[in-house]
């Protein structure tokens, strides 16, 4: 039991301003880190990409192309391909030639001539590298620099999978680092590390160096992302935290879109990687402007520092601050029985909660795999990949907010099932639509739907998992989803076997997710479980929420911002 004189930190925020001028200023500064996060997460879309290629023929390097009437080096290269590279027709009408990418004729002792016929000569694998036809696109990619062709293309996908492996490790490591050393310190440590590792990555001398640095960059990127998100939300009052948590994703979507613009004008992968790594250096000045989380400082017993920050917050917000104001009697959270590792064990011992937790882990994993699967395949829709990528980012903004009213009107489970099924149907439909605008439009419906379902599943998880183990259980679910991201680039590789393979897998994942989510309890209008016992009975014996204009903050854990906001405003809850 708490002593009567003790207050909750959220009560202090309500007194001094839940989202006043001070928090708005700090919040917008921290949102800049969410803005740059997609640059490292999704930049691989523009670092990689195959160009038309064929074997280099070193014996003909010294040929004087002008003497044969070729005006450009590309014309000369294409004529050398015509003579020195085996080809076949791609269709029965014999109107389109397809040249081999991995073998060439034996040109030893044969002088180049447009009339030379080598079709009866021996062939062998490329022994002197490749020629890449990138004159039209002006793109220089990882595949071209490291010759990831002819059976080595999987290494490109492996590099992105290792990036996601880095995010999985980083989410765990920097979560612990943040709890020990603070959100502020973690944020700027990770940002500085991203600048260093990302810059080094642009100077990679081989694919193995590239892979290792991508994995390291992934770990620091998720550390930056998580610490900025937590720091921004821990200074906001309970009734405003939910909407603030959604607005922050708009910055992510805007950064997503800007990346497409940067990539459009910077076609060399090394230059693009260097730019997205050095630009974050401009944010390091925020180190002296953004404070440490006073909530974290209190949890570490650093009351004086927390008090100074809250005094400044109150003054900027225009609140009346007494000379005797201090946080000596303020607690950041309730001490609940069964928290930590023992609470997780108890959670998994309960049959219903065990099934709910495993189901939520699966739902989060499916969502992230499908989300990144769509995001990383916008170049295979038959339209300009830069435009498609930008639109894929733009559809996330309405997707974030379109679920608010349906969630309160129809509930979490049916709305989630609808959006997951819609995503699956749209993804599978792309298989039967020709490449072009129509296919891209349907794919964007799938992206819109999976973004909406992604928002819902986190809310649903917060309302199902009991207070004593909510943070640790959600951390476990998030770790599983980060690990599942490793699969997305590898699934896209299956298009080499059968082109529709990836959309079939992603679409089926979405439908399976929709079906299995039926077994999660509906939480609309139900009291968020405060104990393990209440969590076991949610959906059966859970009490309805009581509407009130007053927040009894001792009743809620800090993460119950959804409920606190609902009772403060009596409006539809934000995600």
DSSP string, 326-346: --TTEESS---TT-HHHHHHH
**DSSP strands (E only) in 36-153:** 52-55, 87-89, 97-99, 103-105, 123-125, 130-133
CB-based contacts of 202: which residues, under 8 Å, 6+ apart?
269, 270, 271, 273, 274, 277
Q: What is the CATH number of domain 337-575?
A: 1.20.1250.20
CB of 238 closer than 8 Å to CB of 43: no
Backbone torsions φ then ψ of 405, nearest 5 degrees? -70, -45
Answer whether 1-50+144-332 and 337-575 agree in fold.
yes
Q: Which CATH architecture has domain 1-50+144-332?
A: Up-down Bundle (1.20)
Q: What secondary structure letter does DSSP report for 497?
A: T
| Helix pair angle (183-201, 21-42), 10° resolution | 30
Its pTM stands at 0.86
CB-based contacts of 399: which residues, under 8 Å, 6+ apart?
447, 448, 449, 451, 452, 455
Angstrom distance (rounded) from CA 412 to CA 525: 10
pLDDT at 341: 52
Angstrom distance (rounded) from CA 102 to CA 151: 9
Angstrom distance (rounded) from CA 303 to CA 297: 7
pLDDT at 125: 93
Closest CA to 230 of 70, 451, 33: 33
pLDDT at 5: 63
pLDDT at 94: 66
Closest CA to 346 of 557, 555, 531: 531
For residue 495, how many other CB atoms are within 10 A of its CB? Answer: 14
pLDDT at 65: 81
Q: What secondary structure letter does DSSP report for 293?
A: P
What are 403's two structure tokens?
Answer: 């679920």
Closest CA to 201 of 146, 263, 132, 129: 146
Backbone torsions φ then ψ of 324, nearest 5 degrees? -90, 5
pLDDT at 93: 61
With b meaning 16 or more CB within 10 Å and e meaning fewer, what string describes 139-148? bbbbbbbbeb
CB of 189 closer than 8 Å to CB of 240: no
CB-based contacts of 14: which residues, under 8 Å, 6+ apart?
237, 238, 551, 553
pLDDT at 259: 97
Coil, helix or strand at residue 541: coil
Provide the pairing of β-strand 103-105 with 123-125: antiparallel
Angstrom distance (rounded) from CA 413 to CA 410: 8
User: Residues of the chain whose pLDDT is less than 50?
Assistant: 1-4, 334-340, 541-575
pLDDT at 539: 60
pLDDT at 550: 34
pLDDT at 530: 73
Domain limits of the chain? 1-50+144-332, 52-133, 337-575
Angstrom distance (rounded) from CA 441 to CA 126: 40
């Amino acid at each position: 039991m708490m002593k009567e004189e003790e207050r909750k930190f959220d009560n202090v925020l309500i007194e001094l301003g839940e989202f006043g001028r001070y928090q708005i200023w700090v919040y917008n500064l921290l949102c800049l880190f969410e803005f740059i996060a997609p640059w490292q997460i999704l930049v691989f879309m523009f670092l990689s990409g195959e160009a038309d290629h064929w074997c280099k023929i070193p014996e003909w390097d010294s040929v004087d192309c002008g003497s044969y009437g070729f005006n450009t080096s590309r014309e000369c290269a294409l004529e050398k391909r015509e003579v020195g590279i085996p080809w076949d027709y791609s269709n029965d009408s014999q109107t389109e030639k397809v040249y081999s990418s991995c073998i060439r004729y034996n040109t030893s002792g044969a002088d180049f001539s447009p009339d030379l016929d080598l079709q009866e000569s021996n062939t062998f694998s490329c022994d002197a590298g490749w020629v890449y036809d990138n004159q039209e696109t002006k793109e220089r990619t990882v595949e071209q620099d490291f010759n990831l062709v002819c059976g080595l293309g999987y290494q490109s996908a492996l590099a992105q999978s290792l990036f996601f492996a880095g995010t999985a490790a980083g989410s765990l490591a920097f979560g612990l680092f943040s709890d020990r050393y603070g959100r502020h310190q973690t944020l700027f440590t990770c940002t500085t590390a991203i600048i260093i590792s990302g810059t080094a990555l642009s100077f990679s001398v081989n694919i193995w160096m590239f892979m290792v640095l991508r994995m390291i960059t992934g770990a620091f990127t998720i550390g930056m992302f998580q610490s900025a998100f937590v720091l921004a939300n821990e200074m906001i009052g309970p009734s405003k935290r939910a909407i603030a948590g959604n607005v922050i994703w708009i910055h992510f979507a805007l950064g997503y879109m800007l990346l497409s613009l940067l990539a459009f004008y910077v076609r060399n992968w090394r230059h693009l990687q260097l730019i997205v790594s050095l630009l974050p250096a401009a944010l390091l000045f925020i180190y002296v402007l953004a404070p440490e989380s006073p909530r974290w400082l209190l949890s570490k017993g650093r009351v004086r520092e927390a008090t100074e920050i809250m005094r400044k917050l109150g003054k900027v917000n225009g609140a009346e601050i007494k000379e005797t104001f201090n946080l000596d009697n303020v607690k950041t959270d309730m001490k609940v029985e069964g928290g930590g590792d023992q609470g997780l064990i108890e959670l998994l011992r309960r049959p219903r909660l065990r099934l709910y937790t495993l189901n939520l882990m699966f739902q989060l994993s499916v969502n992230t795999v499908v989300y990144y699967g769509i995001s990383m395949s916008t170049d295979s829709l038959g339209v300009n990949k830069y435009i498609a990528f930008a639109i894929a980012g733009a559809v996330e903004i309405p997707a974030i907010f379109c679920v608010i009213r349906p969630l309160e009107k129809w509930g979490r489970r049916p709305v989630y099932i609808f959006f997951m099924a819609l995503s699956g149907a749209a993804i599978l439909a792309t298989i039967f639509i020709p490449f072009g605008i129509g296919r891209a439009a349907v794919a964007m419906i799938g992206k819109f739907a999976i973004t909406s379902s992604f928002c819902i599943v986190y809310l649903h998880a917060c309302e199902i998992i009991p207070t004593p183990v909510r943070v640790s259980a959600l951390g476990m679910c998030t770790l599983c989803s980060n690990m599942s991201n490793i699969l997305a680039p590898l699934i896209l590789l299956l298009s080499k076997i059968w082109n529709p393979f990836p959309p079939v897998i992603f679409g089926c994942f979405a439908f399976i997710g929709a079906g299995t989510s039926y077994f999660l309890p509906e939480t609309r209008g139900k009291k968020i479980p405060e104990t393990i016992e209440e969590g076991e009975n949610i959906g059966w014996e859970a009490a309805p929420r009581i509407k009130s204009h007053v927040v009894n903050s001792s009743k809620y854990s800090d993460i119950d911002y959804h409920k606190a906001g609902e009772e403060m405003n009596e409006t539809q809850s934000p995600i």
